[in-house]
């Protein structure tokens, strides 16, 4: 298989984009990636999107977006695996270039979530859970992650304050990200006194409803070197699944799909957790970041809360986690989040992140997951 490089990235301001349509958001972002890459054609495109039908009433978006980008008859594929749709789109794009089927592949993710009411958005997101055994009984995703949080607190002594510190850290990072939806700092007290959503999780423990897109251009690494561009390669990828129903897991505090996906990515890249200079993880809720850092092997099992309190996951810490601000501050347009993580890591490895730049970053990782962790995709990147 060929080595694969990311040669162009694009991301626009995220938030409540009332004046932009679904297709406009996509085209604007994709054009930025094409311009950054310096290419004038693509051979194939993948679009990660979880619920365009429920959020904007539009299916068949692969053809729609190829059309509005002016790229027909290029083959276009829509990818869905809940909130990990973007990460899986990146894996499929990587496979297409690595196999030699295509040279220039546009991988993107998009969601426009604010065109529906809060109740409708909650329903759409809930379709990523088990509808017969979870959704039917009324539980929502905040409720599922609240169960994980309570179990983690009971089993390991994780505190409510430690979870709040995840949000505080990510908002601090987000103040330095010009595309973040909520680029402002918050305090632990503000988190602890914000509106209760599902005990013990409060509104400032939860990622927001977001409109946004992200895009990345993949290219054979050998050809990228001849372009005279910074070469950031994808050197490892892993993908795994778990039971969709939380109650069927042996230990709900352990994200086994993330663990197995990371294990595959580490093996493929011939790297270990201590080799990673920064990581973008799926912090849909504060407890999620704590559990993910443990499953990826950065933090001892049960010690994720302590690691945040000790600032081991700060930008200048032992393992910088979510220098972009994460889903919590940057936003979470569900189908786009996995691609946006890759955009951040590529920019970090190119030293393009200004005030939030991780010092001497050479190897980065992304972890994107769907639902309550039933699907997970992990990628490892390296700068030559």
The dihedral over CA atoms of 264, 266, 269, 272, expressed in degrees to the nearest 10, equals: -170
Average pLDDT on 227-233 reads 89
**Domain of 274: which CATH number?**
3.40.47.10
Locate the DSSP E strands across the chain: 4-11, 44-48, 76-79, 105-112, 196-198, 201-202, 211-220, 232-241, 278-280, 363-370, 375-383
* pTM of the predicted protein model: 0.98
Q: Report yes or no: 215 and 168 within 8 Å, Cβ to Cβ.
A: no
Q: What percent of the chain has pLDDT over 70?
A: 100
Residue 79 lies in domain: 4-117+210-226
Same domain for 250 and 135: yes
Alpha carbon distance 262, 129 (integer Å): 22
pLDDT for position 143: 96
Same domain for 204 and 128: yes
Locate the DSSP E strands across 266-353: 278-280
pLDDT band at 274 (very low <50, low <70, confident <90, very high): very high
Same domain for 154 and 55: no
Last residue of a domain, one of 226, 259, 282: 226
pLDDT for position 228: 84
**Alpha-carbon 99 to chain mean position:** 25
Same domain for 137 and 16: no
Same domain for 333 and 357: yes
Q: What is the DSSP string of 73-95?
A: TS-EEEE-BTBTHHHHHHHHHHH
**Alpha-carbon 72 to chain mean position:** 28
Same domain for 216 and 172: no
Same domain for 344 and 313: yes
Strands 4-11 and 232-241 come out as antiparallel
Residue 337 phi, psi (nearest 5): -60, -40
Q: Report yes or no: 287 and 205 within 8 Å, Cβ to Cβ.
A: yes
pLDDT for position 52: 97
Evaluate if residue 47 carries a pLDDT over 90: yes
* Residue keyed to tokens 């699907």: 375
Alpha carbon distance 237, 262 (integer Å): 8
CA distances from 55 to 49, 157, 210 (A): 10, 38, 11
Same domain for 124 and 65: no
Looking at residue 206, what DSSP letter applies?
Answer: B
- Average model confidence (pLDDT) across the chain: 97
pLDDT for position 193: 98
Token pair belonging to 184: 């402002």
pLDDT band at 380 (very low <50, low <70, confident <90, very high): very high
Q: Which residues pair with 198 in a beta bridge?
A: 201
Q: What is the CA radius of gyration of the chain?
A: 19
Q: Report yes or no: 77 and 61 within 8 Å, Cβ to Cβ.
A: no
Evaluate if residue 362 carries a pLDDT over 90: yes
Alpha carbon distance 170, 315 (integer Å): 10
Same domain for 137 and 81: no
The domain tally of the chain equals: 2
Evaluate if residue 379 carries a pLDDT over 90: yes
Order of strands across the sheet with 375-383? Answer: 76-79, 44-48, 105-112, 211-220, 4-11, 232-241, 375-383, 363-370, 278-280
Closest to 320 measured CA to CA, from 307, 337, 303: 307
Give SS3 for 56: helix
Token pair belonging to 178: 């010009």
Average pLDDT on 39-45 reads 96
Average pLDDT on 34-57 reads 97
Alpha carbon distance 265, 239 (integer Å): 8
Structure-model confidence comparison of residues 229 and 277, the more confident one? 277
Region of 368 on the Ramachandran plot (φ > 0 left; ψ -120 to 50 alpha; else beta): beta
pLDDT for position 317: 97
pLDDT band at 291 (very low <50, low <70, confident <90, very high): very high
pLDDT band at 230 (very low <50, low <70, confident <90, very high): confident
Looking at residue 377, what DSSP letter applies?
Answer: E
- Who's near 34: CB < 8 A, 6+ residues apart? 8, 10, 40, 42, 106, 217
Same domain for 338 and 247: yes
Alpha carbon distance 219, 216 (integer Å): 10
Q: What percent of the chain has pLDDT over 90?
A: 98
Q: Report yes or no: 303 and 12 within 8 Å, Cβ to Cβ.
A: no
Same domain for 374 and 308: yes
Closest to 29 measured CA to CA, from 217, 182, 178: 217
- Active-site annotation, residues: 83, 332
- The answer to which of 10-14, 135-139, 156-160, 341-345 has the lowest mean pLDDT is 135-139
Q: Report yes or no: 325 and 289 within 8 Å, Cβ to Cβ.
A: no
Same domain for 240 and 94: no
């Amino acid at each position: 298989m060929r080595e694969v490089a990311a040669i162009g990235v694009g991301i626009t301001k995220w938030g409540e984009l009332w004046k932009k349509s679904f297709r406009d958001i996509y085209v604007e972002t994709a054009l930025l990636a094409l311009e950054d890459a310096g290419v004038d054609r693509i051979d194939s495109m993948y679009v990660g999107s979880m619920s365009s039908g429920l959020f904007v009433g539009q299916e068949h978006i692969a053809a729609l977006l190829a059309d509005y980008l002016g790229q027909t008859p290029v083959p276009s594929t829509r990818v869905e695996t809940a909130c990990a749709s973007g990460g899986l789109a990146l894996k499929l794009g990587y496979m297409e270039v690595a196999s030699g089927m295509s040279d220039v592949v546009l991988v993107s993710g998009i969601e426009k979530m604010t065109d529906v009411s809060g109740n409708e958005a909650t329903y759409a997101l809930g379709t990523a859970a088990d509808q017969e055994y979870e959704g039917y009984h009324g539980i929502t995703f905040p409720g599922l992650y609240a169960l994980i949080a309570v179990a983690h607190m009971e089993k390991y002594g994780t505190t409510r304050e430690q979870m709040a510190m995840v949000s505080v850290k990510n908002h601090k990072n987000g103040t330095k990200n010009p595309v973040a939806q909520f680029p402002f700092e918050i305090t632990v007290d503000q988190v602890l006194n914000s509106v209760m959503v599902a005990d013990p999780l409060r509104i400032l423990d939860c990622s927001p409803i977001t409109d946004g897109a992200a895009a990345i251009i993949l290219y054979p690494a050998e050809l990228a070197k001849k372009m005279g561009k910074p070469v950031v390669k994808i050197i490892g990828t892993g993908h795994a699944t778990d039971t969709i129903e939380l109650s069927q897991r042996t230990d709900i505090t352990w994200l086994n799909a993330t663990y197995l996906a990371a294990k595959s990515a580490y093996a493929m890249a011939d790297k270990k957790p201590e080799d990673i200079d920064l990581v973008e993880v799926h912090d849909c809720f504060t407890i999620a970041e704590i559990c993910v850092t443990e499953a990826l092997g950065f933090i001892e099992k049960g010690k994720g809360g302590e690691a945040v309190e000790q600032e081991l996951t700060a930008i200048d810490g032992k393992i910088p986690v979510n220098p972009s601000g994460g889903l919590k501050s940057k936003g979470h347009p569900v189908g786009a989040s996995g691609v946006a993580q890759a955009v951040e890591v590529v920019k970090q490895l190119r030293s393009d992140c200004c005030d939030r730049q991780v010092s001497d970053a050479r190897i980065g990782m992304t972890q994107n997951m769907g639902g309550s962790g039933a699907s997970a995709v992990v990628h490892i990147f390296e700068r030559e």
